[in-house]
Structure 1
Amino acid sequence: MEHGQAAVGTRSRWYDGLTAMHWRVLRASFLGWIFDGYEALALVVVLGPMLHSVLSPAQAASPTIYAGLVIGITLLGWGAGGLIGGILADYVGRKRMMLWSVFLYAVLSGLTAFSQTFWTLCALRFLTGLAMGSEWSTGIALLSETWPEQARAKGAGFLQSGFGWGTLIAAVVWYALSSTHPLGAETWRLMFVLGALPAFFVLYIRRGVNESEKWQRAVREKRWSATNAQPGADAAQAAGKRPFTLAQLFSEREALRRTLILLVLSIVTTVGWWAISSWLPTFTVALAKAEGLPDALSWGSKVSISYTVGAIVAYLLAGFIVDAIGRRAFLSLTFVGSLLTTFITYRLTSSVEAMMIVAPINGFFTLGCAYVWMAIYPCELFNVTVRSTAISFVFNAARLIAWVFPIVAGSMIKSFGGVSQAALALGSVYLIGIVLPWFLPETRGSGMPD
């Protein structure tokens, strides 16, 4: 009897059934997302010295304009590349797109180190974003189609944490480089040389990861419908040419409804996160200066790291929480937490000491929970032959809207009357996110649609 009880207890563990191949898929996708996180923050932390090197004397008279341009152009490339790569992954396979995405953005990141003019820098940043944009959606699709049901949400959360770890690595590397200045004023170039290292990772992916069998089988059987809401669509479509996956998201009624709701939720996440995270260091530095603290600028970096640590904790826990309370409740409570912590951060926090406590809680909701749902939930709402297209569209279409924010940031702060007021105004978008999830189907325990 005791042996039987022990066996039942053993079978109830979430990681039962995971094989070496499952863990290799996670490691491959996780490491790729670490490199993305590193690349994203590397651009931000070296922005000052980088612009000092590449701007002409005339351009240097307006540094904020060019800072916004280079960040915005990178985001534009990232969004466009993610959308294109996600679509291609539904045609040529998840593994192949991961290989090309990682390899190309690694090479282009390395070439960024040799930029001599601002416009060369922008071109390379756009191409780097274009290349690395699809790494996330292909990794998520591959993991979701290979991991068993009881572990899938946890694995997706672990994968998503790679971005947070990547930003932390970038922060630590830049701290070390900026403290030692091995190349003097040109030390920033080393950050992008290190960004080229993922090229070696391509060899690991090729050797250690298999293609998604579910995707291969669905393509062979010509199962083209976007959702399970139209069970007869496959038979009708199999006789003709395969529909364009992106068009399917808007031509099938239920797919359209799900796509639009998820897109609005993604925009809510992106707009809220952009306002909270990008202005948090500036707001914290202002608090430090008001308190008369020495080295006030250092508090901006400290609070960014604290904020990111909170997000990493959310990534690691999210899969367990979402399996316990359901997808819709998780989403709704995420935006409740985001709204409350944003109000606490920008209205009730008046010292850097308090901010160091509040920031990780804010990061837990506005960066961690607010993004990890995209790695778990949309995969469960679309069939396998359009899955990569759907999740990449939901994730990247919001970026194609948000890329203008860095360019107009200064004007927005001025219009709202300060950083605090601007953050609170944009943070009110979380109200939409509290309500919308309840118009989507609950998928907890229902498995992945084929």
Structure 2
Amino acid sequence: MAEESAVATLPSHWYDGLTRKHWQVLQAGFLGWIFDGYEAMAIIVVLGPMMHTVLTPVQAASMPIYAGSVIGITLLGWGLGGIVGGVLADYIGRKRMMMWSIFLYALFSGLTTFANGFVILCVLRFLTGLAMGSEWGTGVALVSETWPDRARAKGLGFLHSGFGWGTLVAAVIWYALSSTHPLGEETWRLVFAVGAIPALGILYLRRGLEESEQWQRAVREKRWHATGDASRAPGQRTTADNGKRPFTLKVLFTEPEALRRTVLAMALSAVTTVGWWAISSWLPTYTIAIGKAEGVADPVAWGSRVSITYTVGAIAAYMLSGFIIDMLGRRLFMCLTFLGSLLVTIATYKLTNSVEMMAVLAPINGFFTLGCAFAWMAIYPVELFTSTVRTSAISMIFNGARLLAWVFPIIAGTLIKSFGGIPNTALAMGSVYALGILLPWFLPETAGRKLPE
């Protein structure tokens, strides 16, 4: 009888047992991620008009170098800010770090509206990236440490969809503004003015969000180890467990298993980041070039449409990723994701010669190269590390790749010239996805396991 009663109380649906508190935490992270995505896409869609406005005639002669520098500097700030913010969140808490991150990147995004020269623009984009980077890890940690194990992957997939919705909002807003040109050639400034809106969300976060109890408990109990290595006997504590708290990044890079997981996950993150910037940043430009070669009526509009449908495909991937990754397992999901990214890159840049075909491929491209390729970073790395180093670890994995990838937009013009055009360059850089097919199999499978504490 007791057995039957226990079985009857087991949840029958993944969402059974989720409370208002769980959804509140998800909403808070989702809000921040919408504007993360907005900022990431905004710099891409307004890049051309923005450069024409802020560059001097002499600078405009080297447009690709200056345009790539703006993207690269934003990425650099994003990477540095993400790592610093992730470490701070393991010391001062997830909630406080999230609030400061959202407020500061909203402030600097709004100030970008008034940039009147290349140097000022670069400073503001670096500061925006610096503030924006730390929001990612805090949102992931809060949801993962609050939601129950059976629903965690789904919740994190929904959370990451905020990034996709943000990129879609940016693409749609720019499509509308570029069609009406309310400020003429200065219309791009309105896109960044909208970026100041998330500051309003700070009041909501202050009132309704609670700190992670799992993180607080781990700190109180001084559990400083990084991976919760199952090889230790129950109750056994390391030297670090009993002594003064070690620096979180030192733990990640000195514990052998933590080091192995960190390096492999960072390599996979670099695959995702390099591949995505190669694909997404050139997709509208390449579509416009195809449209001009075909003689279509409005090639620029086709570029905007492709950006929008690319993002729609990514949003679909985010919403489904938690369900798919629980069904396939973490490693197979990642392997198939990078295989799909490689194949769709070849199809896009080698086999496509019309804007209509590009429009068909764009959502498939977005599903793999932006959707699934980023969704694993919200779901999998949190399951590899414990609470006291979790935001340090996932922020290092997610943002550390940007410390490598930020140079690629800057040298993009040189790469395009060296490889003989955008298609060859995208194919060359997209070949990095082959590495992503192999590396997941060297990491542990965590599907169905409890989150390490």
TM-score (norm 1): 0.95
Aligned to 1:418: 421
State the Cα RMSD in Å: 1.8
Q: How does 1:262-341 map to 2 (within 5 A)?
A: 262-341=265-344
Match of 1:58, SS?
A: helix
| Separation in 1, partners of 2:242, 2:11 | 43
| Separation in 1, partners of 2:353, 2:43 | 29
| Separation in 1, partners of 2:237, 2:84 | 24
Per-residue deviation, 1:425: 1.6
| Separation in 2, partners of 1:126, 1:352 | 34
Aligned to 2:149: 149
Aligned to 2:410: 407
| Separation in 2, partners of 1:234, 1:73 | 43
Contact preservation (8 Å) 1:30, 1:162: yes
Per-residue deviation, 1:361: 1.0
Per-residue deviation, 1:123: 0.8
Contact preservation (8 Å) 2:225, 2:241: no
Amino acid at match of 2:270: I
Per-residue deviation, 1:50: 2.3
Aligned to 2:166: 166
**Is there any run of 5+ residues in structure 2 with no aligned partner, and where?**
none
Contact preservation (8 Å) 2:175, 2:304: no
Contact preservation (8 Å) 1:158, 1:316: yes
| Separation in 2, partners of 1:180, 1:362 | 29
User: Closer, same or farther in 2 for the Cα pair 1:179/1:295, shift >3 Å?
Assistant: closer
Contact preservation (8 Å) 1:32, 1:198: yes
Aligned to 1:48: 48
| Separation in 2, partners of 1:55, 1:87 | 37
Q: How does 1:49-448 map to 2 (within 5 A)?
A: 49-229=49-229, 231=232, 234-448=237-451
Per-residue deviation, 1:33: 0.5
Please list every run of at least 4 consecutive aligned residues from structure 1 whose deviation after the TM superposition is greater than 6 angstroms.
Answer: none
| Separation in 2, partners of 1:178, 1:411 | 29
**Is there any run of 5+ residues in structure 1 with no aligned partner, and where?**
none
Higher mean C-alpha displacement, 230-239 vs 348-357: 230-239
Contact preservation (8 Å) 2:331, 2:441: yes
User: Closer, same or farther in 2 for the Cα pair 1:175/1:345, shift >3 Å?
Assistant: closer
Q: Deviations over 1:65-100 (max 9, x none)?
A: 211111111111011001100010000000000000
Identity of aligned residues (%): 69
Per-residue deviation, 1:346: 1.8
Contact preservation (8 Å) 1:224, 1:234: no
| Separation in 2, partners of 1:357, 1:178 | 23
| Separation in 1, partners of 2:356, 2:180 | 28
Contact preservation (8 Å) 1:82, 1:130: yes
Aligned to 2:38: 38
Q: Deviations over 1:375-413 (max 9, x none)?
A: 000000001100000000000011111111111111111
User: Closer, same or farther in 2 for the Cα pair 1:174/1:280, shift >3 Å?
Assistant: closer
Contact preservation (8 Å) 1:222, 1:234: no
Contact preservation (8 Å) 2:64, 2:412: no
Contact preservation (8 Å) 2:171, 2:307: no
Per-residue deviation, 1:139: 0.2
Contact preservation (8 Å) 2:76, 2:126: yes
User: Closer, same or farther in 2 for the Cα pair 1:45/1:281, shift >3 Å?
Assistant: closer
Higher mean C-alpha displacement, 224-233 vs 239-248: 224-233
Higher mean C-alpha displacement, 241-250 vs 43-52: 43-52
Contact preservation (8 Å) 2:172, 2:308: no
Per-residue deviation, 1:291: 2.1
| Separation in 1, partners of 2:348, 2:193 | 36
| Separation in 2, partners of 1:350, 1:254 | 47
| Separation in 2, partners of 1:118, 1:287 | 30
Per-residue deviation, 1:137: 0.6
Per-residue deviation, 1:238: 3.4
Per-residue deviation, 1:252: 0.3
Match of 1:243, SS?
A: coil
| Separation in 2, partners of 1:373, 1:101 | 23
Amino acid at match of 2:378: A
| Separation in 1, partners of 2:341, 2:254 | 33
Match of 1:346, SS?
A: helix
Per-residue deviation, 1:138: 0.4
Match of 1:445, SS?
A: coil
| Separation in 2, partners of 1:9, 1:177 | 54
Aligned to 1:25: 25
Per-residue deviation, 1:305: 1.2
User: Closer, same or farther in 2 for the Cα pair 1:418/1:252, shift >3 Å?
Assistant: same
TM-score (norm 2): 0.95
User: Closer, same or farther in 2 for the Cα pair 1:60/1:372, shift >3 Å?
Assistant: same
| Separation in 1, partners of 2:179, 2:306 | 19
Contact preservation (8 Å) 1:74, 1:125: yes
| Separation in 1, partners of 2:48, 2:280 | 18
| Separation in 1, partners of 2:175, 2:433 | 34
Higher mean C-alpha displacement, 226-235 vs 26-35: 226-235
Amino acid at match of 1:238: D
| Separation in 1, partners of 2:193, 2:81 | 22
Amino acid at match of 2:57: P
